[in-house]
Each structure stands twice: as structure tokens, then as C-alpha cells.
Amino acid sequence: MNFREEYRKKLTKPEDAVSIIKSGDNVNFGPFACAPIFLDQHLAQRAGELENVTIQSITFPAVCRSVLADPERKSFIFRSSHFSKADRILHDRGLCDYIPNLFHEGPSYFNNGYIRPDVSIVRAAPMDKWGFFNIGIGNSVIPASLEQTKRVIIEVNENIPYCYGGFKESIHISRVDHIVESDNAPIIELPRDELSERHRTIAAYIIDEIVDGACLQLGIGALPNAVGELIAHSDLKDLGVQTEMLCDAYFEMFERGKITGAKKTFDPGKMSYTFALGSRKLYDFLDHNQHCASFPVDYINSLKNISANDNVISINNAIEIDLYGQVSAESSGFRHISGTGGQLDFVYGAYHSRGGKSFICLSSTYTDREGKVRSRITPTLEPGTIVTVHRAMVHYVVTEYGKAMLKGKSTRERAEELIRIAHPDFREELIREAERMNLWTRTAGIA
């Protein structure tokens, strides 16, 4: 087959590509760095012309122009199964709906027909000589969505790295209906959170629990990155990687020789991931790098596959935890902030790994919009707050005041452990509330 000739036949102007979308269609946008930002701008020009078009995405990396062009939601209904900062802004304005999900189940929603796209639009790397467009940087649910969609539009961007698999990290031109050459805008780069002494203190507690040959999963944010930074300068060696998100911390650990994957029992030698977000350095590191392997999310986040490696270490952020041990990492009261993502997948999978441990990390306090300092460890979750991790699944909780291991502990012991690692200014108040909740007696004390 002459792939270049087929490419020319399918090459389409952007306005013609989005013209195939009809009123009532379900349109699936590629997730993360594979989000079709260029074609979204062209679809926005059809606001007022189309009616009741559902647009679905995961962590759209910019404010969706189609949504902004239709504030009354007559043309476009935007939904996301994990919020970016831009999605959160739209949700606050009533312009974005959240889809509750477990990340490892994402492909099954397409395969079982719960989500059935009429059109899928995905940003990808330029076609290779064998007719493949690489989508490894955003893999996750893309393969399942493309298998179930009626028509496929590829938005080509020369800045997308060519990421090896794994499997299902590419789509062949024979499965593509339209190809659009974009403006080749740079891929979104995540700003590096400034690490505080508090972050480094929390990270140090976790480092003490990591052994040579451990397999790492780091969530997004300053705390997991602080752990990566400390590991990069530690004596640990032969670490492995199986993570949903590949971020700069892994690149830095690899550069310093900490990551070899030699002790992995599952996909040995590979840094396995399902999507990548970070700096340009990270994207350049991924390009044609045989050390890295991109897989769909139902493979990476599979509970069976996570636990197949020994000594899995899962490190994730949280917004709030109550004295029962219920963790919220996605909302604060009625304000939705993020999503379940794969946190629950790795909390559960890591615990069932031989020697594995999962850590929920949070600073002991935060300052609210009125400038008042509040505790992140609370008697009960604020009304409306979503539970991300069930209390029975939580393993370790870490603040700058220590780490609490909750497995096998009674509700009373859990409350004692969590109060022990709360900020000292809030401990007496938490004790009073724990007494009221029948979770504390004055004879208990704090170790």
C-alpha cells in the first residue's frame, strides 16, 4: 500500500473536517496532550449552527473554545472524566460536567457501549513510513474510543513525541477518515511546583519506606515530585516504573541512574505508563526512547498488573482526610476540583503487591480564600465532599508531622493515628470532636 498517497487523499482542511459533525453527535476528544486544540478552535466556529453536540474529554489542556463560544450550552455540552485547571474553571461556570469513573475501567465504557462516539478527534505525531500515527503520549482510553467510533479525525502536530509501546500506542492510516495538519503549536508544559521544606519533610518519611528494586507510581503535584527529587539524590537503586502519568521526576531519576527496571517482574526493564505530561525535556526524553513503553490504561492500571510487581510504591496527593480515614482527592465541599483518576487503582493494587505500600500525602493545613488556616485532617468530610478512597483501603497517610499506618486499626486507633500527624494547633479541637463522635477517650493520649 502507498501510505503517502492514502495520506494525500485523506488530507482535509480543518473547517471541512469538523463539518462532518452533525447535531446530536457524540464527539470524543483525545485526552491530555492528544487533545485536538487546533480543531477545537474550528469547531467553535459552528456554535449556533449545531445543536446538542456532546463533547467528551479527559483533562483538556486548554480552555475548550467550543464551550466558550456557546455559554448557553445549546450547541455543545462538554463533559470530562478528569479535570484540568481549564476544565475546573468551566465547571465553576456551569459549563463542564464531570463523569465519575475508575480510570482502569475507562476503555470498558467504550467497549460496553456506555459511551459510543460518532466522531473521535485525536492529536497525534506525524505519520511514519509504515502509515502509523503515534498517540503514545496520551494512550489511556484512545484505542478503545477509536475502535468504537464511527469516524476518526487525526490532528497532526509535529511536536508530539514518537513514544514506543507497549501496544496500541499508534493508529494506522487505514482506520483514519480525515487528516488535518495543524498549526504545530507547542505541547502544554506543566509548571514545576515550587518545593517547600514541608514537601521535603513529607517526602523524607516516604523515602524511608522505599527499598532497592521498588516499583514506583507517582501522582501529579508537588508532593510526589518532591519524593522523586529526593530519590534522585538518594542511594536507592534498580527502581522500576509502572505509573499512569509519566512526569519529569521519572526523567530526573533515570538520568541519575536510579531507574533501571531490572527488578521488575512485570514488564522488566521498561518504564511503563499510559500518558505523559511535563516539560519539553520530558517529551524529548520520550521520543524514540526504548526504555519507555506506553500502554492503554486498562493494562497499566489493572489491579492484577499493578500487583504483579513486587514492592510497588504508590504516592498520591489528597485534599482532605477525615478521622474515619476517608480520603478526598477530587472535591472540596460542592466544588469539584479534579477526579478519581487512577488513585484508587494504585492504592488498591500497591497494597496487594508483595511488599507494596501506598501513601496518601497531604500538608497538615491550608489557607482558605479568606486567609484563614484550616486543617486538612478533619473530624468528618465537609458536606458535599466526594470520597475518593474508601477508609478500608487506605494504607499510609503522611503529613509533615509523621506517617500513620491505618491497616488493621480500629476506628478509634485510626482517629488517634491521624490526630497524631495533624498540625499541633488543631489537635485539641480534633480530640474534642473525636470524643463527640465516640472515637476518642481522654485516656488515649498521643504518642
Q: What is the DSSP string of 289-342?
A: -TTEEE-BHHHHT-HHHHHTSSSEEEEEE-SEEETT--EESSEETTEE-S--TT
Mean pLDDT, residues 139-157: 98
Residues 234, 347: one domain?
Answer: yes
Residues 90, 211: one domain?
Answer: no
Separation CA 197–CA 23 (nearest Å): 53
Q: How many Cβ atoms sit within 10 Å of the Cβ of residue 392?
A: 10
The verdict on residue 446 lying in a domain is no
First vs last Cα of the chain: how many Å apart?
72
The verdict on residue 442 lying in a domain is no
Q: Among 181, 214, 231, give the residue marking a domain's end.
A: 181
Number of domains in the chain: 2
Q: How confident is the model at residue 81 (pLDDT cuts 50, 70, 90)?
A: very high
pLDDT tens profile 321-358: 999 999 999 999 999 999 999 999 999 999 999 999 99
pLDDT score at 447: 46
Closest CA to 224 of 128, 51, 360: 360
Positions marked active-site: 244
Mean pLDDT of the chain: 95
Q: Among 181, 205, 234, give the residue marking a domain's end.
A: 181
Residues 360, 420: one domain?
Answer: yes
Residues 248, 382: one domain?
Answer: yes
Residues 322, 414: one domain?
Answer: yes
pTM: 0.95
Q: Is the pLDDT of residue 442 over 90?
A: no
Q: Is the pLDDT of residue 444 over 60?
A: no
CA torsion through residues 158, 159, 160, 162, sign: positive
Q: Among 115, 146, 181, give the residue marking a domain's end.
A: 181
Residues 171, 205: one domain?
Answer: no
The verdict on residue 293 lying in a domain is yes
Residues 75, 108: one domain?
Answer: yes
Separation CA 386–CA 388 (nearest Å): 6
Looking at residue 140, its amino acid is S
Separation CA 395–CA 108 (nearest Å): 28
Residues 6+ apart with CB under 8 A from 297: 103, 104, 106, 107, 139, 140, 141, 244, 274, 275, 342
Residues 350, 223: one domain?
Answer: yes
pLDDT tens profile 271-322: 999 999 999 999 999 999 999 999 999 999 999 999 999 999 999 999 999 9
Q: Cell numbers of 288, please?
A: 524514540
Domain CATH code at residue 119: 3.40.1080.10
Separation CA 264–CA 356 (nearest Å): 13
Residues 225, 108: one domain?
Answer: no
**Dihedral, CA of residue 192, residue 337, residue 274 and residue 173, to nearest 10:** -100
> How far is residue 237 from each of residues 152, 212, 228, 231, measured CA to CA in Å?
44, 5, 13, 9
Looking at residue 30, its amino acid is G
Do residues 236 and 333 touch, judged by C-beta distance below 8 A? no
Q: Is 3 exposed, middle or buried (0-12, 13-18, 19+ CB in 10 A)?
A: middle
What range defines the domain where residue 7 resides?
Answer: 3-181
Looking at residue 283, its amino acid is Y
Domain CATH code at residue 321: 3.40.1080.20
- Beta strands 320-322 and 335-336 are unpaired
Rounded to the nearest 5 degrees, what angle is found at the Cα of 400, between the Cα atoms of 396 and 403?
25
The verdict on residue 192 lying in a domain is no
pLDDT tens profile 113-129: 999 999 999 999 999 99
Residues 11, 157: one domain?
Answer: yes
Q: How many Cβ atoms sit within 10 Å of the Cβ of residue 335?
A: 12
Q: Cell numbers of 181, please?
A: 495538519
DSSP state of 395: -
- b/e for 220-257, b at 16 or more Cβ within 10 A? bbbbbbbbbbbbbebebebbbbbbbbbbbbbbbbbeee
Rounded to the nearest 5 degrees, what angle is found at the Cα of 320, between the Cα atoms of 314 and 323?
100
DSSP state of 165: B
Do residues 277 and 188 touch, judged by C-beta distance below 8 A? yes
Residues 304, 389: one domain?
Answer: yes
Q: How many Cβ atoms sit within 10 Å of the Cβ of residue 438?
A: 10
Q: How confident is the model at residue 193 (pLDDT cuts 50, 70, 90)?
A: confident
The verdict on residue 306 lying in a domain is yes
- b/e for 67-103, b at 16 or more Cβ within 10 A? bbbbeeeebbbbbbbbbbebbbebbeeebbbbbebbb
pLDDT tens profile 197-235: 898 999 999 999 999 999 999 988 778 888 888 899 999
The verdict on residue 444 lying in a domain is no
Residues 149, 215: one domain?
Answer: no
The verdict on residue 186 lying in a domain is no
- b/e for 11-44, b at 16 or more Cβ within 10 A? ebebeebbeebeeebbbbbbbbbbbbbbbbbbbb
The verdict on residue 191 lying in a domain is no
